[in-house]
Structure 1
Amino acid sequence: YKVNDIIKVRIEARDNFGTSAAKGGGDFFKVKAYHPQTRSSISASQTISYGNGSYDAEILAFRSGPLTVQVMLGNSGHFIDAVKHLTSEPHTHAMDFYATFVNEATSDKTQCRIQADAFISGVVCNLTNRNGETWFCVKPKPGLGCSDLTDMYTKTGESKYTTTVNRTELFTTKGNVGNIFVSPDGDQTSIDRSNLPNCRQGIQQASPFGFWMNNEWLSTSCNNKHFSRQPKLAAKCITNRIFYFLGDSTIRQWFEYFLRKSHEQNYWTEKSTYEQGSFRDVWDSRSSRIERTNTTFYYRVHGPPMQNGAAASSMRYISNELDQMLKRSDGGRSLTVVVGIGPHFLQYNPLVFRKRLTIIITAAEKMLARNPEATVIVKGLGTFDRGLGIGECCLTDWLSYRLNKITQQVLQNSKVIYMDVWHMTLSHHSPDLIHPVDEVISNQVDLALSYSC
């Protein structure tokens, strides 16, 4: 092989008896090539199924020298078929959602779901926002009203997921299938990125989206900068800018990363009444300001469902937040909005996530029409570990991969920027984690800043 060649890896899937796993060819594989000494790696650009248990994975020869190819069976086709069936209904069976209603005289707890028709009986509190992001809870007992809602929480247990899907299907199989050597292409020892455009909305996305070289992520679509090792460039980029981080804990990581890197006093505002350090406290709205660069950061969690509970006042629908930006004055500062949503929707019918994301993108495009100089980025979904303790049976990379593909589809012709992190997390040398290590987060943030500045 030479640099820029396509390395083809043939995969033959067989069962425990050595029989070809010919059923449908729906197995989910994760394939990458890496050089551990330099922490350089790349994931397969695509895996082609021939429907008979045979697959071809295609890997771009991104650098010269020795490479090790690794193939991991993420989930079997049998497991995926079962999960597809279990997520075909409008509500999730993985957990139950509840609301707490409290006033001076009494309190009550009732069940909540994302669609009203999921309730067999009972009058509901309609908590759907004006843009159509739906959420319903059974009305509390007399003496309490819907406005007395204080917080929401979840209960997990033995569900249809854990009783229907064989637990042995959870195990993955991985192995280094072999070593290869890639020769330089003339004088070229790695992929030529010298003619790539600056990162901006509307650029043609290449496949794969990028690769790791010496522990830095290099995009194959645009000339991304590495602000984390260029503090002066980073300071220039964030000067006179407002950042909104809207979404789940994977986007809250970005907010916290900026705080750690700012070397400034953090100013936490809009704190809820929950005790500092309690599990609900992590979802509180918060902000921080860097006086020296006139930069403000905001974090807001998305609206329900939230698998680990939150105060009702903390959960803000993202489309509402985007609508509010139309009314706010930015004081002449630039605006960057980063949205991260998906992990709390993994075990729902994928149409639920598609609808929620479409509503958010519609609101974002409306905001961009009023403020065309703003930047709105939607971070895709990455790989993650299991062991999360929430519907643990079926929280798999395949579910994350499915919603990530939907995110790509929804944003295909949008003015909102899709930022892929699937290949970034899949190909990195660290373990699969829903909250990636700092090396990954810093490169994600650098890529987002490359689109903003």
Structure 2
Amino acid sequence: MSRALAKCFRSPSVLLVTSIILLSFTIHWILIKQPLRCSHFQIKYAKPLATLVDNEEKVTEIFNAITRTVPSVYFTNISTTTSAKNSRGIILDLKKQYCVGDSLTVQVTMFDYVGKRKTYGGDFLRARIFSPKVEAGASGRIDDLNNGLYNVHFALFWEGNVKISILLMHPSEGVAALWRARNSGYKNIIFYGQYEYRSKKVQSECGFELDSDEAKCEYGAKEDKDFFYCIKPDNVSCESLISVTSKERSHTYLNTLEKTLFLRSNIGVEIPQTTESVDVMSCNRNSEVKPKCSTGMFQPFPSGYFLNNVWYPVFCNLSTYDPQSHISNCLSGKKIYIMGDSTLLQWTHYIASIMNSLKFFDLHASGSFNTLLLLDTDKNVYIHWKKHGHPLLIAYAFTVKDYSTVNQEIDRLEGGPQTVFVFSLGHHFRPFPITLFINRLLNTRKAIERLFLRSPDTKVIIRTENTREQSVAMDRFSDFYGYIQYQLTKDIFQGLNVGIIDAWDMSIASGAFELHPSASTVKNQINMFLKYIC
């Protein structure tokens, strides 16, 4: 089997259990221009993908590929949708005893609310194994057989009693409704821009699409085809925009029947299993020798597991010592640029809390979500955090005078062996059509390619987004949206010499439902970060 084909068969298919390998296949061909020849999937394109140079064509092709993986189903009665409580999971080839290193497969059969077997797939599941006594957890890999059956594969990484959890997050009918709703428009969120011109202060409506015939101010780079607009105030220049705020509209693209699928009681429901746990023995097997963690490594799914609340990647050796005990030496002489949302702001504050020699430098900024600068003049450490470009869903005014997208910021870097650029894109994009996110990722990939041409020894680290609370409005912030974005992030940056911090995998493994991970999870993310750059 060729290396490309082997990698194709190892491609992760995690939570959106439709044919997600189809998506990876398509994106790989679009970006790398070499098809991974997986004979299971025959994709018909309007044009040969290798001829697509324009971002707009790539965005359309990727969007269409995702749409083909999402179930196209409709319902007229909730009783015909997937019921977690009526569905069943059974361990295939159940053994009396398992050893560390073994795998087990749970086959899940889906039924609707009247007990009728489902005959199609597309349900959004979340699977993990865990052992509370040893603070251990790992994600499961889910295969959708597209006939109402799912095979959920688990690797047994530790010994002891191991519990199994498989949650139905959304039925396939809900997945179809969410995908249609997300891509119906931009009306869920409204933005307001604050203009200051001489002694005049004016507020104006802003957004990615404005349903108005009034004159508009356009912000963005034409070459990126990534624009943000505001209705132009009378007698005020467009350059006078100072700050932006946002809020949710009382609006939904879901109909009344579809909304019943997203009542809190219908989200994240445990699927009953005939066997809820298994006992795992060490069996004295030799552990595999793994290479040092470095950028550019292929990451399988799951990419790691927790044991004693420590994250162990399965594709590289994190080493037995705590990387944070050497953080001062690791960061010495480095310039670290961090760009993203509040989850990377967490990183910045965490690093400051464990490296006491770092001091915040007051930039005298006004408003919220301001740029942060940390300095250690003795160790010559420079850490700079900045929010990513629109969209930012913040109720308080934030300045746009230092505005830039991730790709624009990368293009400003000189780079070098002591330069590190960390970024994350995710949560703030969820309420908007996926094409906005795809285009931003494609522009960012191009910027990284340009950076590596002028400075190949620059370190680039990507933190994926993670899961979040289930009490939020699903039509805006569902983890289904996040999972698609997570897959896109891993796929679009495939083949580049970057390091991936798989925050999504860590969230699933730990059973977390929180936008801002716990301090222990952040610590494990920082451990991976330090291993990549030192």
**Where does residue 182 of structure 1 map in the other structure?**
280
Tell me, in whole angstroms, the C-alpha distance in 1 between the residues paired with 2:507 and 2:408.
30
Tell me, in whole angstroms, the C-alpha distance in 1 between the residues paired with 2:104 and 2:332.
44
Q: How does 1:46-445 map to 2 (within 5 A)?
A: 46-89=141-184, 91-115=185-209, 119-129=211-221, 131-132=223-224, 134-161=226-253, 163=255, 165-170=258-263, 171-174=267-270, 177=273, 178-184=276-282, 186-188=283-285, 192-193=287-288, 195-225=289-319, 229-264=322-357, 266-274=359-367, 281=368, 283-309=369-395, 310-326=398-414, 334-387=418-471, 391=473, 393-429=475-511, 431-445=512-526
Question: Contact conserved, 1:108 with 1:141, CA < 8 A, in 2?
Answer: yes
SS at match of 1:435: coil
Deviation readout 1:348-377 (Å, 9 max, x if unpaired): 222211110111121122122222221001
Of stretches 62-71 and 151-160 in structure 1, the one that deviates more from structure 2 is 151-160
Counterpart residue type for residue 372 of structure 2: R
Shift of 1:30: 0.7
**Where does residue 31 of structure 1 map in the other structure?**
127
Deviation readout 1:26-75 (Å, 9 max, x if unpaired): 1111111111100011110x211222322110001112221000111111
Counterpart residue type for residue 145 of structure 1: S
Shift of 1:176: 7.2
In structure 2, relative to structure 1, the CA distance for the partners of 1:183 and 1:273 (3 Å cut) is closer
Of stretches 124-133 and 335-344 in structure 1, the one that deviates more from structure 2 is 124-133
Deviation readout 1:57-96 (Å, 9 max, x if unpaired): 000111222100011111111111011101224x423211
Question: Contact conserved, 2:167 with 2:268, CA < 8 A, in 1?
Answer: yes
Shift of 1:230: 4.9
**Where does residue 46 of structure 2 map in the other structure?**
none
Question: Contact conserved, 2:252 with 2:475, CA < 8 A, in 1?
Answer: no
Tell me, in whole angstroms, the C-alpha distance in 1 between the residues paired with 2:510 and 2:270.
15
In structure 2, relative to structure 1, the CA distance for the partners of 1:50 and 1:206 (3 Å cut) is closer
Tell me, in whole angstroms, the C-alpha distance in 2 between the residues paired with 1:226 and 1:445.
15
Shift of 1:225: 4.4
Shift of 1:305: 1.0
**Where does residue 9 of structure 1 map in the other structure?**
106
Tell me, in whole angstroms, the C-alpha distance in 1 between the residues paired with 2:324 and 2:199.
55
Question: Contact conserved, 2:189 with 2:431, CA < 8 A, in 1?
Answer: no
Deviation readout 1:134-153 (Å, 9 max, x if unpaired): 23323323221111111111
Shift of 1:403: 0.2
In structure 2, relative to structure 1, the CA distance for the partners of 1:158 and 1:419 (3 Å cut) is same
Shift of 1:386: 3.5
> Runs of at least 4 residues of structure 1 off by over 6 A?
none
Tell me, in whole angstroms, the C-alpha distance in 2 between the residues paired with 1:267 and 1:235.
16
Tell me, in whole angstroms, the C-alpha distance in 2 between the residues paired with 1:355 and 1:402.
14
Tell me, in whole angstroms, the C-alpha distance in 1 between the residues paired with 2:470 and 2:401.
29
**Where does residue 84 of structure 2 map in the other structure?**
none
Percent sequence identity is 20
Tell me, in whole angstroms, the C-alpha distance in 2 between the residues paired with 1:98 and 1:236.
45
Counterpart residue type for residue 36 of structure 1: P
Counterpart residue type for residue 485 of structure 2: L
In structure 2, relative to structure 1, the CA distance for the partners of 1:237 and 1:43 (3 Å cut) is same
Shift of 1:162: 5.8
Of stretches 26-35 and 205-214 in structure 1, the one that deviates more from structure 2 is 205-214
Tell me, in whole angstroms, the C-alpha distance in 2 between the residues paired with 1:94 and 1:142.
27
Structure 1: runs of 5+ lacking an equivalent? 275-280
Shift of 1:202: 2.5
SS at match of 2:359: coil
**Where does residue 450 of structure 1 map in the other structure?**
531
Shift of 1:295: 1.0
Shift of 1:393: 4.3
Shift of 1:183: 2.9
Tell me, in whole angstroms, the C-alpha distance in 2 between the residues paired with 1:97 and 1:226.
48
Tell me, in whole angstroms, the C-alpha distance in 1 between the residues paired with 2:250 and 2:118.
30
SS at match of 1:128: strand
Counterpart residue type for residue 316 of structure 2: C
Shift of 1:406: 0.5
Tell me, in whole angstroms, the C-alpha distance in 1 between the residues paired with 2:319 and 2:334.
18
Tell me, in whole angstroms, the C-alpha distance in 1 between the residues paired with 2:278 and 2:116.
28
Question: Contact conserved, 1:225 with 1:450, CA < 8 A, in 2?
Answer: no
Shift of 1:172: 2.2
Question: Superposition RMSD on alpha carbons, in Å?
Answer: 2.2
TM-score, normalisation: structure 1: 0.88
Tell me, in whole angstroms, the C-alpha distance in 1 between the residues paired with 2:255 and 2:135.
41
Counterpart residue type for residue 400 of structure 2: A
In structure 2, relative to structure 1, the CA distance for the partners of 1:321 and 1:26 (3 Å cut) is same
Candidates 39, 42, 51, aligned match of 2:138: 42
Shift of 1:131: 4.8
Shift of 1:130: 5.5
In structure 2, relative to structure 1, the CA distance for the partners of 1:231 and 1:425 (3 Å cut) is closer
In structure 2, relative to structure 1, the CA distance for the partners of 1:82 and 1:218 (3 Å cut) is same
In structure 2, relative to structure 1, the CA distance for the partners of 1:88 and 1:157 (3 Å cut) is closer
In structure 2, relative to structure 1, the CA distance for the partners of 1:152 and 1:352 (3 Å cut) is same
Structure 2: runs of 5+ lacking an equivalent? 1-97
Tell me, in whole angstroms, the C-alpha distance in 1 between the residues paired with 2:222 and 2:320.
40
Tell me, in whole angstroms, the C-alpha distance in 2 between the residues paired with 1:386 and 1:295.
39
